[in-house]
A = this chain, B = another copy of it.
């Protein structure tokens, strides 16, 4: 078995892979790939998946859950379009590649964009403080976890301004207080399900309140009114997300997951801090529990280390080109045994 530390799609429990494969062959007499999204059988899957998101994250009344397409890349645009208010002015926290892209789409939607905080001065290796927030913003947008830089918000920004969060890479990794947000969105392909669907959790009271004319597919109200079936949804991706949600809930939910994720992160960060061959690349207080970025203190050991982890059946450890070094992504389904295997290899260097 391979230890999958890859940053992108999408380690899931083996049980989920087995059930998904079985449904490709037989889902009530058809393949799940050929079943109509309008059939009673699939409508039930979609409703279950939306309910299980609410259950897993303890979503309060007054929110709608949607499964759309296009990933966070389209989410940047959708969020800006749907939350434009009377000032057409939005605040963005810039913590790296993904928030930079979000800023760009805020502008593309026609908004005045204020960068209310940024960690660009130090190559995005920390989470900036939010001070002096203008009061006339329509919304604040931030990225909870930065897959590339390896940083993560440890608390939700305190504000009375509507709050939007791109949680693509840490949703379902820990409990969250959904009531603090007006919109949460997330590409499925980290902790939820296979690439191809994008989760939206949106406060009902803001639907239809945008001051912009929104193209149809980008309008969350359109999708909400059609119960996430405005057009053909990514059937299989939603089906597998639902399998994973059921697995998650059955196994203790996000509380149990959070505990395991903390254990995994502690194990690896301890090794990085105590092993003279390695150093972390981010500020300690802002370290991501999902994406652990680190490098060698002596680059001459690169060849040997790469050989060791490759021989150890570890995949996906190469750092993003913009940061260099290594990145160990430890999504929910990565077993602690895989982290132990990596730590053993680090000790052996």
Contact = CB atoms under 8 A, between A and B. Distances in A.
Interface of A: 2, 4, 6-12, 17-18, 20-22, 24-25, 29-31, 33-39, 69-74, 76-77, 101, 104-105, 108-109, 187, 189, 194-197, 213-218, 230-237, 240, 315-316
Contacts of A316: 36
A187 B196 CA distance: 13
A214 B34 CA distance: 34
Contact of A195 (B6, B77, B235): B235
A215 B109 CA distance: 7
How many copies of the chain does the oligomer comprise?
A: 2
Contact of A315 (B30, B33, B70): B30
A42 B117 CA distance: 37
Contacts of A72: 231
Given A18-B25, A234-B196, A217 B70 contact: yes
Contacts of A8: 36-38, 232
15 contacts: A6-B39, A9-B37, A12-B34, A17-B24, A17-B25, A18-B25, A69-B70, A69-B71, A76-B217, A77-B215, A77-B218, A108-B216, A189-B235, A195-B232, A196-B235
A217 B198 CA distance: 14
A33 B6 contact: no
Contacts of A10: 33-34
B217 A74 contact: yes
Contacts of A25: 17-18, 21
Contacts of A18: 25
A70 to B, nearest CB: 5
Contacts of A214: 108
Contacts of A4: 30, 34
A235 B194 contact: yes
Contacts of A109: 215
Contacts of A231: 71-73
Contact of A240 (B30, B33, B39): B33
A140 to B, nearest CB: 21
For A29, A36, A70, A187, the residue with the greatest tally of chain B CB atoms inside 10 Å of its CB is A36
B17 A33 contact: yes
Given A34-B10, A234-B234, A240-B33, A216 B73 contact: yes
Contacts of A215: 77, 105, 108-109
Contact of A34 (B11, B24, B104, B230): B11
Contacts of A29: 2
For A70, A72, A240, the residue with the greatest tally of chain B CB atoms inside 10 Å of its CB is A70
A20 B33 contact: yes
Contact of A70 (B21, B70, B194): B70
Contacts of A230: 73
A220 to B, nearest CB: 14
B36 A7 contact: yes
A11 to B, nearest CB: 5
Contacts of A104: 216
A195 B236 contact: yes
For A108, A196, A315, the residue with the greatest tally of chain B CB atoms inside 10 Å of its CB is A196
Contacts of A6: 34-36, 39
